[in-house]
Amino acid sequence: MSRSLKALFLAAEAEPFVKIGGLGDVAGSLPPALRRVSIDVRLVLPLHGVIKKQGLPLHFVCEFSLPYKKKEIIVKVFSLEWAGLTVYFIDGTPISPTAPVYSSDPLADSLKYAFFSLAALRLARELDWQPDILHANDWHTALAVYALKQLRATDPFFASTASVLGIHNLPYLGNGSSALLKAFGLSPGRHALLPKWTQTLPLPLGILAADRIVAVSPSYAREILTPEYGSGLDEFLRARADSISGILNGLDLERWDPLNDSCLEKNYSSETLADRKANREHLQAEVGLPIHADAAIMGMVNRMDYQKGMDLLPEALTGLSLLKQKPAFDWQMVILGAGDAEIEARARQLESEFPTRVRVVTRFDVRLSRMIYGGADVIIIPSRYEPCGLTQMIAMRYGCVPLGRSTGGLRDTIFDYDQTRESTGFLFEEATPQSLLGGMIRALKTHRDKQSWRELQLRGMAQDFSWDRSADQYKKLYADVMREFSKNPEGA
């Protein structure tokens, strides 16, 4: 095209303003990367209470009203310039200044994000800025995609705006939103393959209306078409398979750089990898493990929950300790994470079972997580499903070899040691302690071969996980969807 594409990018969170999960990483990194490839992108966020408290230099942009039931809700919009792009913040009574970004009340969250989604779409009209692409993310902003499709039939302003819906975690559909559709003037979705129970939920409605659906890894894009990963929508998603693709998330290479990371005892690069030894010893001392130069240090930095497979670890470590291996494996383990109380308690119990080998820290600790990346030999990621995942990318950048389950983005980013000469880590197939144990054994055996291990580290550190790579793929996706949309404005 002869001009830059214009993209309105909606998200519930984005670094550096607010980050709760992986969406915050994506929404904070992808829009600036899109600017670098000549996409005119505007980022729109809710003005959460946690953002208000930061005292940002926000400028008032406009005020308008949004119909709700038989009355109206006042919308106030503020902005600032950041990383080369304009960021808009939407405020209104549904976005309570005292509420967390994601609350335990599905009704309150549903109202907040329905209001935000529709207000963000309306903002484009108020600015007289016609987007070529509406890029929404997850259930929180999916109603903007659904509303756009209805508007295109009656409003010339949006007649040529195509939509892209990013899926970062399919199981979160937006429960609690059923009563809000009518209140905001929207009708339930209708499709023969769309289950009745989903016809008023934001994410299924967004999937129904989107011109293109993009999952955060190629493997996850395929997995959501199956009953195991499809959250009850697999048959409907298969009907839309031609519109679904997968693009790997990227990594902020400046933020994650062992050569400049202040949390490390000694900085290093692929050219000074031997300096990593100081970080190993510092990690051992920090958590109170014996300083064993030859021990393979395994690390885990993850939420303590079922999805992340943390419950597989105790039985796998017990199996590892019972091996009749000669010579015996010399290993240690540092576990960092918080979440499910029962899984936390079982993880802490490992310290008493393996007092000279295991240390468990059940809190959120940025400094210690970076010490693990910079000092451990292996990072273990036993997720039952992982749409993309950053842990393995960060670990490889730090020369920490990943051992992950063969699912989603882990499968797309870790090249298995037994399968290719370009290997960067280890994969195991089943979400079972026995399969995880098998992966541990392969990793520990390989660790004994110092030359092979160093080659694994160097190949991992050489991988291109930059957001610029991802942005190039999104730019192509945007161009493709615009070409398709121009041929078929009715869309999906």
User: What pLDDT does 337 receive?
Assistant: 93
Q: Does residue 370 surpass a pLDDT of 80?
A: yes
Is residue 259 domain-resident?
Answer: no
Give residue 492's pLDDT band: very low, low, confident or very high (50, 70, 90). Answer: low
212: left (phi over 0), alpha (psi -120 to 50) or beta: beta
Tokens of 79: 């902005």
Is residue 265 domain-resident?
Answer: no
Q: Which amino acid is at 333?
A: M
Give residue 179's pLDDT band: very low, low, confident or very high (50, 70, 90). Answer: confident
Give residue 413's pLDDT band: very low, low, confident or very high (50, 70, 90). Answer: very high
Is residue 1 domain-resident?
Answer: no
Among residues 291, 4, 305, 281, the alpha carbon closest in space to that of 132 is found at 4
Average of per-residue pLDDT across 463-470: 95
Return the HEC string of 48-115.
CHHHHCCCCCCEEEEEEEEEECCEEEEEEEEEEEECCEEEEEEECCCCCCCCCCCCCCHHHHHHHHHH
Co-location of 135 and 228 in the same domain: yes
Each residue's pLDDT tens digit, 19-36? 998 899 999 999 999 999
CB 334 within 8 A of CB 350: no
Average of per-residue pLDDT across 355-376: 96
Co-location of 456 and 390 in the same domain: yes
Tokens of 248: 């790997």
Q: How many CB atoms lie within 10 A of CB 122?
A: 19
Q: What is the pTM of this model?
A: 0.93
Highest mean pLDDT among 1-15, 188-202, 219-233: 219-233
> What is the number of domains present in the chain?
2
Let me know how long the chain is.
492
Q: Establish how many alpha carbons lie within 13 A of residue 67's alpha carbon, considering only the half-sphere containing its beta carbon.
A: 8
Portion of the chain with pLDDT greater than 70, in percent: 98
- Which domain CATH number covers 143? 3.40.50.2000
Co-location of 472 and 409 in the same domain: no
Q: What is the spatial distance between Cα 59 and Cα 239, in angstroms, rounded to a whole number?
A: 45
Q: How many CB atoms lie within 10 A of CB 334?
A: 23
Each residue's pLDDT tens digit, 441-466? 999 999 999 999 999 999 999 999 99
Mean pLDDT of the chain: 94
User: What pLDDT does 421 receive?
Assistant: 79
Co-location of 215 and 305 in the same domain: no
Average of per-residue pLDDT across 199-211: 96
CB 83 within 8 A of CB 32: yes
212 membership: H or E segment, kind and range: strand 212-215
Is residue 264 domain-resident?
Answer: no
User: What pLDDT does 327 receive?
Assistant: 79
Co-location of 305 and 225 in the same domain: no
Co-location of 184 and 220 in the same domain: yes
Q: Does residue 182 surpass a pLDDT of 70?
A: yes
Each residue's pLDDT tens digit, 98-119? 999 999 899 999 999 999 999 9
User: What pLDDT does 21 receive?
Assistant: 87
User: What pLDDT does 491 receive?
Assistant: 56
Each residue's pLDDT tens digit, 44-70? 999 999 999 999 999 999 999 999 998
DSSP helix/strand/coil, 269: coil
Each residue's pLDDT tens digit, 209-252? 999 999 999 999 999 999 999 999 999 999 999 999 999 999 99
Q: What is the spatial distance between Cα 103 and Cα 478, in angstroms, rounded to a whole number?
A: 33
Each residue's pLDDT tens digit, 279-288? 999 999 999 9
Could you list the residue range(s) of the whole structural domain that residue 363 is in?
270-463
Co-location of 131 and 278 in the same domain: no
Portion of the chain with pLDDT greater than 90, in percent: 89
Each residue's pLDDT tens digit, 251-277? 999 999 999 999 999 999 999 999 999
DSSP helix/strand/coil, 148: helix
Q: Does residue 1 surpass a pLDDT of 50?
A: no
Co-location of 310 and 376 in the same domain: yes
